[in-house]
Structure 1
């Protein structure tokens, strides 16, 4: 069968679930991933075709898409901040809003470095990503802030195994730590500190679980049915539990002039700012994402 013929079938089969533009984007993502062919190749070579075996593989993917399994999980990969990452059902699929948070951190740090012309940030500078998942935040920071040692925490062994693969894929060094941050009383207790000199982090960042159960109705089926709930949802009765805990740790473990960054629930911007203000954080800045939603916060001790 010619690829162009199968493309028509592919769009027809999925157009009742997704809009046509999205289906078409799926088709070309799969085409490039499985066959190293781009849209232009198909346009220039009308006679390109699929074998019976290839059609069977494509039909399997069509059935997965009908079940609304995310295309990133089907392909086992995604792109984040210009880097390639492996993803699976054990980690959240990185979002564009999180890219904005990473960009804020990197650009702020580069500006800070330029403004301190006589004070070059040394090798002792440290960043910590709490709830790292695929490692997308930590790895992006390590790639772009090469004078930083980067540490990353997650409670999930399977998530950390995947993050390790992404470290190798992107050729960076991350110090991974498996721990339940809610049970951590002091970051100095973590094994990488050697229990000698307290580690002070110049940057602490977290994109913790922040979707309340009452908001599940707003979550798309492909997310609700496939992405790990442990990394997504939080109890309605204490929606800021992770922010409070991480802020408490930041009070102890942020270096002088260090910064704490959060991705937040769009409906809880004021509440999160108020929490940090009551804990005496300074220079609290709430920023919207490209969709106009309150999405990220930066503050200092």
Structure 2
């Protein structure tokens, strides 16, 4: 069903429901459609729901139709619109960076709560490893304005996007291009009170169970790891953290929900203390916190 023939908001909902049924469940389609209509028309979601017979213009109809065509390929709506929201902030996103996830917001909240409880220094020093869009580093800096925040990534394109997002959200982040698996010793990376990372952790087995809008569109270097060594980044970051965290510093990871026990064992073997494995709101093992020497 082509939306260029649709005249009302109700027609748009019907067309999206019919066209996207093979890809999404009914509740996801409704949420997507509501968000897209709001974006294109400038109307609030409440107004859209209250007045389904409201007419849309021909240019709006054509724009909605173009979005629907792209959605039918599995392309994520965040890439189509070019932005998304994370921790109450707006971030530009594109295929060079992962789309920020709700569980990562929970990780940011855990860091902020830990910083308050572990207030040993007035000015926090924070390092985000594998920053991507910059969502973690920027959200932390926005909520800890006195903190000195650095962020590293291997991807030039990702760092460019992260820099744009730091400007968009009016924060100053020290961005550094580094391969955490092969660190150039000439590159200076500041020692930190907090190191946080959401590194690649998706195995080929995990890939078979994931939606195509992730596997076909999001950057593979930021997602996938070798099946034979799925914790390769956690080992490298743990080694780095033991050398670069200040005494009593904290390390935070977002993790593969199927490898929580193994991630904890790696941290124990490296000498970390006070290791805590935490579930997300869905009840899945998704986060780990550890201290370098003990709090």
C-alpha distance in structure 1 between counterparts of 2:111 and 2:166, whole Å: 20
C-alpha distance in structure 2 between counterparts of 1:46 and 1:223, whole Å: 32
1:190 maps to 2:187 = yes
Seen in structure 2, the aligned counterparts of structure 1 residues 265 and 47 have a Cα distance that, compared at 3 Å, is closer
* Residues 181, 233 of structure 2: 8 Å contact kept: yes
Seen in structure 2, the aligned counterparts of structure 1 residues 43 and 274 have a Cα distance that, compared at 3 Å, is closer
CA shift, 1:43, in A, is 4.8
Moved over 4 A (4+): 43-47
Partner residue of 2:33?
Answer: 27
Write 1 or 2 for the structure with the bigger share of helix.
1
- Describe the superposition over 1:42-94 as per-residue Cα deviations: whole angstroms up to 9, x where unpaired: 35556632222221211111111111111111111111111111111111111
- Which of 260, 282, 288 in structure 2 is aligned with 1:291? 282
Partner residue of 1:168?
Answer: 167
- What is the root-mean-square deviation of aligned Cα atoms in Å? 1.7
* Residues 206, 262 of structure 1: 8 Å contact kept: yes
1:248 maps to 2:239 = yes
C-alpha distance in structure 2 between counterparts of 1:45 and 1:247, whole Å: 54
Partner residue of 2:96?
Answer: 90
CA shift, 1:251, in A, is 1.0
C-alpha distance in structure 2 between counterparts of 1:233 and 1:152, whole Å: 20
**Equivalences for residues 83-232 of structure 1 within 5 A:** 83-113=89-119, 121-123=121-123, 125-184=124-183, 189-191=186-188, 199-232=190-223
Seen in structure 2, the aligned counterparts of structure 1 residues 152 and 46 have a Cα distance that, compared at 3 Å, is closer
Q: What is the SS of the residue equivalent to 1:260? A: strand
C-alpha distance in structure 2 between counterparts of 1:254 and 1:282, whole Å: 13
Paired residues, number: 286
Q: Give ranges in structure 2 of 5+ residues lacking alignment.
A: 1-6
Task: Tell me the TM-score normalized by structure 1.
Answer: 0.90
Partner residue of 1:196?
Answer: none
CA shift, 1:292, in A, is 1.6
1:280 maps to 2:278 = no
* Residues 28, 38 of structure 1: 8 Å contact kept: no
